[in-house]
Amino acid sequence: MAELLARRLGTRAQTSLEVNALVSGARPEAMAAQARELQAAGFQTFKLKVGADSAEADLQRVTMLREALGSEPRIRLDANG
């Protein structure tokens, strides 16, 4: 399908599609461990749900995730509206 669409648009077909890993959990230590496992499995983009708790708690979770993953991986924040 990608080849057919690309030919029709006069572009090259994309050969891969990056997906994100969902990081979840109530305990920061467990979230950090989960994120490192997912990173070791090859994920480079991570999604974290926010907005259900205080802004301060969300900031702490985002900070913990960034510290666990390092500076290169992307982090998506999902506030669900």
Tens-digit pLDDT profile for residues 28-72: 888 999 999 999 999 999 999 998 888 998 899 999 999 999 999
| pTM summary value | 0.76
Name, in order, each residue with C-beta under 8 angstroms of 21's C-beta and a sequence gap of 6 or more: 35, 38, 41, 43, 45, 46, 47
